[in-house]
A and B are shown apart, each in its own frame.
Chain A
Amino acid sequence: MSAIADAAPGQGGRWTGPLDPKPPASPNPAEVAERLENIWGDAPGLRGWFGTVDHKTIGVRYMITSFVFLILGGLEALVMRIQLAQPNATTLSPEQYNQLFSLHGVTMIFLYAMPVLSGFSNYLWPLMLGSRDMAFPRLNALSYWLFLAAGIFLYASFPLGAAPDGGWFGYVPNTAREYSPGPNIDVYCLGLIFLGISTTVGAANFVVTLLRMRAPGMSVNRLPIIIWGTLTASVANLFAVPAVSLACLMLWLDRNHGTHFYDIAGGGQPLLWQHLFWLFGHPWVYAIVLPAMGMVSDALPVHCRRPLVGYTLVATATVATMVVGFGVWLHHMFATGLPVLALSFFSAASFVIAIPSAVSVFSWIATIYTGRVRLTVPFLFFTSVILLFVIGGVSGVMTASLAFDWQLTDTYFIVAHLHYVLIGINLFAVVGAIYHWLPKMSGRMMDERLGRWVFGFMFIGFNLAFLPMHWLGLIGMPRRVWTYGADMGFSATNLVVSIGAFVFATGILLFLVNIATALRSGRPAGPDPWGGPTLEWAIPSPPPVYNFAIIPLVATRHPLWEDQLDEGSERSQLASGFLLDNGKETLGVTPLDGEPDVILKMPGDSLLPFAFSVAALVLFGGLLVGSAWIAVIGGAAAIIALVVWFRPHPTPEACEKVRIYD
């Protein structure tokens, strides 16, 4: 901010004019609002529905779709728990069980955990950054349509009995043609490559959005932590996703075209799969928790009515977690017979991860301890994240130890650990975040009393289901088995686990009821029901289609708390600033300091993303059924869509005069 005000005017056509620090003027007059509404609104009818590029619509679609997959994955888990509730049960055949646990893992990790966070970030980023949209709105729509198409591609196999059945990790040689002759693993390979395209374009969009699409004055040390989390996860995705795409391509080639990447008889190496898979898989674990940890870091302080303790440390720890996370993939391979020196190094590196994780945990605890806590439902969920994260983290440190891991690998101890981490940090954070941000998205509050019941069922059910699993693992119950004998000592504990799973599912069901009733008849929320400090709370709920009538000018980390916090004399300006209304446009800033730099003309609705996704679905369908012609038609259609996409305007736009509003 001060940098803007202090800059000398007129350097090379760059906007450097001073802005008088006036108190916020009255908000957008109806005339401006109406014009912006016309500019930013969707086209009517189906064209608008399939062609919308509004980040809020896309974010909501992402969240709804990923919740549908969460429910599907949860139903799969419940069927498995019915099978495992008693010894020697015959509800499922071993083949059905293999498909269920594989599809459960693939669904939860690829179709729920990451997409739900993408949905949140798509919705929240421009609102928190003080922008009108993401950097590439069409790419944003594309990433959603591709995600949906890949999800349909993976799930279409299920009714045909051809769902992936080699675990979410797809280890060779178990998944080689020789041992898995059906189309199941081909669905898995192609589905993951397909989904990888969606993740990659989404990740690039987040990175560029962060670099360019912020309100003036929002320097990197003023970003909300969720931005840090999603940014870190997105950078990690850019580097990690190609590993699994390549691994899957090689497996598909091995299975369908006789190559020898993993086949030892032809000079291949089965362990190459594990290296590539975990080079991706380990960073991915952090990709699906860091944005969720960011939600806690941003929302928990609101309910503690104080800023997050140790902002800089938490932001740094977020990035550090991911950097270390790229160097520890081998700890998924301790039991594969690798040299002990390598194992020792990776064991030590895995212990190191505990340090940045602990930074976040201690920061949250300190925030609660020094805050004035309101015992709201979001607060309950966020504090439970801390507890479950600590339990999951401690069992993680245990399994980072070689000797311990050799005993416990492939037992239910590992299942317990990964569910504590993934449900604990992802799902509990997401549910808390929905209680926190749904009022912003819908304009209506969720019911607190019902919310407490939801929390009770989910928290008790979760611990009832997964805490005893540690014990099951310690006494030797292997994972991925479809049943067990009555004399093995697993029976009573398994029954408890299954009961816990159903209690947990009841909590999820109540949660959906809670959302439905809130959307229908919830109390009106107003712009800022929790008294939040960040920019999204400065605009009406639900936000207008253009987000901000006037692009705000940010001066501190907590624009809405400046009066209470007394962080110095600078004040953000929320009602006077850049008024960009010559068509669909928003402001671009310099990457580090957030100084106004360019005017960005944003694209309107377009059917191209949808068309490209359909073409990609045809391409992958053709590859799956082995029809070169179908694949070529799909590929050609995709390329045509891209060419039309990049077609330039005959005359490029020139420099524009800036209008400000004061």
Chain B
Amino acid sequence: MTEARTLDQTLPVHGRGQVGTAWWGMLCLFATEGILFGYLIFSYAYLGSQGYSDWPPSGPPALRLAIPATILLVGSSFVLEWARRNANRGNAGRGRIGLGITIAMGAGFMALSLKEWADKPFALADSSYSSIYFLLTGTHLAHVALGLAALIVLFAWSIAGRVGGGHEQHRALATLYWHFVDVVWLFVFLTIYVSPRMV
């Protein structure tokens, strides 16, 4: 006669700590999104290297807004990490404060980026440079907006008590995505602002 018996050992549900099935899924998302930015940067380099005119046509873009924006975005990753660790340790208050500051910093980055767009002397349809400039920065900005939306939703859930101490994996996913968006920005920054200054 066969029967089921219960063992004393236990297995965790979904995963240990932050590494669950969704964590692996997020890595797949990074692979495919990361390579998308790779192709965008390839397109930038291809158009720049194959074109006939100066690249960028109006000289390297100014750093006046880009540097503070970069500091805001990269800094927000550290704040968010601090918030996540606190929330995981059960300090929900610090977690919320950190999350709120991160959202504010991300919004600041978006505002600076949009200001820079508005100040540009060229428009999307002016030349191949303007086209790839707006597409590359715009694709990144769309990712920032999506990340920001995710953080805002997480913030609201945290206020409403829907995400609590045990929801490590939810926090991990939002945080990972935000770090990813920041790392991608460094490559975008190198491409748009630094590479024209190196030739």
Query: Contacts of A13 on B, CB cut-off 8 Å?
Result: 9-12
When chains A and B are docked, how far (Å) is the Cα of A10 from the Cα of B131?
60
A195-211 interface code vs B (CB 8 A; 1 in, 0 out): 00000100111011001
A639-B149 in contact (CB<8A): yes
Q: List 28 A-B contacts (CB under 8 A).
A: A13-B10, A17-B7, A29-B2, A135-B21, A203-B28, A203-B32, A208-B21, A246-B43, A257-B124, A258-B124, A259-B125, A259-B131, A267-B52, A269-B51, A271-B50, A272-B50, A276-B43, A596-B11, A598-B12, A598-B13, A599-B14, A648-B167, A650-B161, A656-B11, A657-B8, A658-B11, A660-B4, A660-B7
Report if A647 contacts B (CB, 8 A).
Answer: yes
Besides A267-B57, A576-B2, 6 more A-B contacts (Cβ < 8 Å) are A13-B11, A204-B32, A598-B15, A598-B16, A654-B13, A657-B9
Instruction: Indicate which residue in B2, B33, B127 contacts A267 across the interface (CB closer than 8 Å).
Output: B127
Interchain residue pairs A-B with the least CB separation, the first 5: A258-B125, A267-B128, A204-B28, A242-B36, A259-B131
Nearest B-chain residue to A27, judged by Cβ: B2
Residue B157 interfacial (CB < 8 Å): yes
Q: Which residues of B contact A260 (CB under 8 A)?
A: 125-128, 130-131
Q: Do residues B11 and A266 form an inter-chain contact, with CB atoms below 8 A?
A: no
- CB contacts (< 8 Å) of B129 on chain A: these are 267
B35 at the interface (CB under 8 A from A): yes
Do residues B14 and A269 form an inter-chain contact, with CB atoms below 8 A?
no
Contact in complex: A601, B124 (CB < 8 Å):
no
* Residue B62 CB within 8 A of the other chain: no
In the bound complex, CA of A32 to CA of B29 (Å): 38
By a CB distance below 8 angstroms, the chain A residues around B10 are: 13, 15, 655-658
Q: Which residue from A29, A235, A259, A268 sits with its C-beta under 8 Å from B124? A: A259
Does B5 reach chain A (CB closer than 8 Å)?
yes
CA distance A205 to B5 in the complex (A): 33
Query: In the complex, are the beta carbons of A261 and B32 less than 8 A apart?
Result: no
Q: B residues 101-153 with Cβ under 8 Å of A?
A: 124-132, 135, 149, 153
Contact A253 B40 (CB under 8 A): no
Q: How far is the CA of A271 from the CA of B53 in the complex (A)?
A: 17
Is the CB–CB distance between B36 and A246 below 8 Å?
yes
| Interface residue from A269, A597, A598, A654 paired with B47 (Cβ < 8 Å) | A269
Task: Give min CB distance, A607 to chain B, whole Å.
Answer: 20
Residues of chain A within 8 A (CB-CB) of B42 are 275
Kindly identify which residue among A245, A597, A652, A662 contacts B166, using a CB–CB cutoff of 8 Å.
A652
Say if the beta carbon of A212 comes within 8 Å of chain B: yes
A15:B162 contact, CB within 8 angstroms: no
**Residue among B7, B15, B32 making CB contact with A15, cutoff 8 Å:** B7
Q: Which A253-292 residues have C-beta < 8 A from chain B? A: 253, 257-261, 263, 266-269, 271-272, 275-276, 279
Chain A interface residues toward B at CB < 8 A: 9-10, 13-17, 25-26, 29, 32, 135-136, 139, 200, 203-205, 207-208, 211-212, 235, 238-239, 241-243, 245-246, 249-250, 253, 257-261, 263, 266-269, 271-272, 275-276, 279, 575-576, 579, 588, 596-601, 639, 643, 646-648, 650-662
Residues of A within 8 A of B164 (CB): 650-652
| Distance between A23 CB and nearest chain B CB, rounded to angstroms | 11
| A267 in contact with B47 (CB, 8 Å) | yes
A232 to B113, CA, bound (A): 39
Whether a CB of chain A sits under 8 angstroms from the CB of B170 is yes
Map CB proximity to A onto B30-59 as digits: 1 under 8 Å, 0 otherwise.
011101100110110011001111000100
Q: Which residues of B contact A269 (CB under 8 A)?
A: 46-47, 50-51, 128
Residue of A nearest to B163 (CB): A648
**CB neighbours of A655 from chain B (8 A):** 10-13
Complex Cα spacing A268 to B135, Å: 14
Please state if A261 and B47 are interface contacts (CB–CB under 8 Å): yes
Q: Which residues of A contact B21 (CB under 8 A)?
A: 135-136, 208, 212, 588, 600
| Contact (Cβ within 8 A) B24 A17 | no
Please measure, in the bound complex, the distance between the C-alpha atom of A245 and the C-alpha atom of B130, giving whole angstroms. 20
Q: Which residue of A lies closest to B168 (CB)?
A: A652
Tell me if B7 and A658 are in contact (CB < 8 A).
Answer: yes
**A15 and B9 in contact (CB under 8 A), knowing A269-B51, A639-B149?**
yes
Complex CA distance for A266 and B124, rounded to whole angstroms: 12
Instruction: Report Cα–Cα, A136/B127, bound state, in Å.
Output: 43
Within the complex, the shortest CB–CB distance from A556 to chain B, in Å, comes to 23
The reply to whether B125 and A15 form a contact with Cβ atoms under 8 Å apart is: no
* Closest chain A residue to B48, Cβ basis: A267
| Contact in complex: B35, A239 (CB < 8 Å) | yes
- Residues in B whose Cβ lies below 8 Å from that of A26: 2
Output the nearest chain B residue to A237 by Cβ-Cβ distance.
B32
**Complexed CA–CA distance, A139 and B26 (Å):** 13
Whole-angstrom distance between the Cβ of B117 and the nearest chain A Cβ: 15
Residues on A with beta carbons closer than 8 Å to the beta carbon of B5: 659-660, 662
Interface residue from A239, A275, A648 paired with B157 (Cβ < 8 Å): A648
Q: Which residues of B contact A205 (CB under 8 A)?
A: 25
Complex CA–CA separation, A253 to B130 (angstroms): 13
CB distance from B176 to the nearest CB of A (A): 14
Given contacts A241-B32, A576-B2, contact A597 B53 (CB under 8 A): no
Q: Closest Cβ of chain B: how far from A253's Cβ, in Å? A: 7
User: Which residues from chain B contact A136 at a C-beta distance below 8 Å?
Assistant: 21, 25
Chain A residue at minimal CB-CB distance from B174? A646
**CA gap between A212 and B39 in the complex, in Å:** 30
A222 CA / B103 CA spacing, docked (Å): 47
A-facing residues in B39-88 (Cβ within 8 Å): 39-40, 42-43, 46-47, 50-53, 57
User: A445: shortest Cβ distance to chain B, in Å?
Assistant: 31
In Å, the complex CA distance between A257 and B29 comes to 29
